[in-house]
Amino acid sequence: MPTCHSWFAVLMPETSKQEAIHAAERLRVSLAESPFVFEDGVELAVTASFGVDCLRGPGDDVEALFKRADSAVYRAKRTKNAVAVLDREPDGL
């Protein structure tokens, strides 16, 4: 079965890290439980991996946020169909 990889970001202002993790997990489960069914009856299972992080205070910036979230999504992809959060800064920050 062919695979497709798409990347996108979801920005959730006024959302705690725990709330963001919960939202990502709900979306991941919903996608996994809802295969696409084509007119010919063929089903396509969908999985998703999410990297979650939040701005960490006044000195933090969007570039650093995206770098942390990117590192977290790579961690999630190693597990496959998962939600991951970094416990520490990725190398280079």
Residue 9 within any structural domain of the chain? no
With 50 as the cut, is the pLDDT of residue 93 above it? no
Asked if the structure places residue 6 within a domain, the reply is: no
Please indicate, yes or no, whether the overall pTM of this predicted structure exceeds 0.85: no
pLDDT at position 48 over 50: yes
Share of the chain above pLDDT 70, in %: 88
For the chain, the domain total comes to: 1
How far, in Å, CA of 36 to CA of 31, rounded?
A: 9
CA atoms within 13 A on the CB side of 24: 27
What's residue 31's pLDDT?
Answer: 92
For residue 1, is pLDDT > 90?
A: no
Residue 57 lies in a domain: yes
Cα–Cα distance list, 16 to 21, 32, 46, 76 (Å) = 9, 24, 27, 20
Q: Judge whether 5 lies within some domain.
A: no
In a domain, 12, yes or no: no
Q: Identify the pLDDT of residue 26.
A: 96
What is the extent of the structural domain holding 21?
Answer: 17-82
Residue 92, pLDDT > 60, answer: no
Please provide the average confidence, as pLDDT, over all residues in the chain.
Answer: 87
For residue range 52-61, list pLDDT tens digits in order.
Answer: 999 888 889 9
Is 2 inside a domain boundary? no
DSSP state of 90: P
Residue 34 located in a structural domain: yes
User: DSSP alpha helices (H): ranges in 4-61?
Assistant: 17-32
Q: What is the mean pLDDT of residues 63-85?
A: 92
